[in-house]
Structure 1
Amino acid sequence: MSFQPQLWVERAGEAVEFYRSASGAIVLHRVGEGDDIVAQLRVGDASFWISAADPDSGRFSPAELNGGPSRTLLVVDEPDAVMSAAVAAGAIAKAGVDDEHGWRLGRIVDPFGHEWEIGRPIGPWPPD
């Protein structure tokens, strides 16, 4: 069993390229053209989907909501490096990488309005 969220975005084709640059995501599957696509990406052993927002179908982008409905945690070995790559690719840093609540993590908002935490546990997880 796995959990694979789908992010609804404006400019879906551009979003795929952002996630490739920002996190090294690999495109596993892609159908459609331009921004009218559905794509499955993988970072490490985690997969997620990108598709075009469509308010008529109830699929709203963060821009249409004036903010995202959730935050996604991307667990990586080197949060400082991935955070730097994400900002260089166009994300906005909300909080720099620091040690917090047993994690080394930072927070960004990607160019499509989705909020992410990028981090790793500092020690064994979950704690005893």
Structure 2
Amino acid sequence: MTHIKTTIKPFLTVSDGIKAVEFYTAAFGAIETKRFLVENDKISSVIKIEEAEFYLSDEEACHSDSSLNLATDNGVRIILETKNADQIFGNALQLGAKEICPIITEEDWRIGKLKDPFGHIWEIGYAL
């Protein structure tokens, strides 16, 4: 019997999957490990940042995503814990993310918060 590890992986819904993959690749050093073509030139992808994996897809009516206001309706924050926090945070800002809180050292964390061009909130940092 194969051992299955329990994990939780975010699934980000965006309005332009191809541009989102380009952003995460350039800003976060992500790698797109899988891409699935969906009708109407839309995509669904599996993305990795270092060893962390998440899913990304264009909004699709059949998944009830089309009723979201993707710029304002995100109730999820994503925490990216990486030793490369400063570099990734800076790259993201240069590529169109908006700073919410600058990356600083507080208590036992070095962390900052930003909103990516697709409306997702990221806290990027690492434990000291």
| TM-score (norm: length of structure 2) | 0.85
> In the superposition, relative to structure 1, how do residues 9 and 61 fare at CA in structure 2: closer, same or farther (>3 Å)?
farther
What percent of counterpart residues are identical?
31
> In the superposition, relative to structure 1, how do residues 99 and 24 fare at CA in structure 2: closer, same or farther (>3 Å)?
same
Instruction: Tell me the alpha carbon deviations over residues 6-41 of structure 1, each in whole angstroms, 9 at most, x when there is no partner.
Output: 100101110000000110000100011685111001
Match of 1:5 in 2: 10
Runs (4+) of structure 1 exceeding 6 A deviation are: none
**Secondary structure, aligned partner of 1:112:** coil
Equivalent-residue separation in structure 2 for 1:72 and 1:61 (angstroms): 21
Is 1:22 aligned to 2:21, yes or no?
Answer: no
| TM-score (norm: length of structure 1) | 0.85
Displacement of 1:62 after TM fit? 6.1
> In the superposition, relative to structure 1, how do residues 29 and 61 fare at CA in structure 2: closer, same or farther (>3 Å)?
farther
Match of 1:31 in 2: 36
> In the superposition, relative to structure 1, how do residues 91 and 61 fare at CA in structure 2: closer, same or farther (>3 Å)?
farther
Match of 2:82 among 49, 62, 76: 76
Match of 1:109 in 2: 115
Equivalent-residue separation in structure 1 for 2:68 and 2:125 (angstroms): 22
**Secondary structure, aligned partner of 1:77:** coil
Structure 1 alignment gaps of length 5 or more:
123-128
Instruction: Tell me the alpha carbon deviations over residues 71-90 of structure 1, each in whole angstroms, 9 at most, x when there is no partner.
Output: 00001102111100011111
**Secondary structure, aligned partner of 2:69:** helix
Match of 1:53 in 2: 59
Q: What amino acid is aligned across from residue 91 of structure 1 in structure 2? A: A
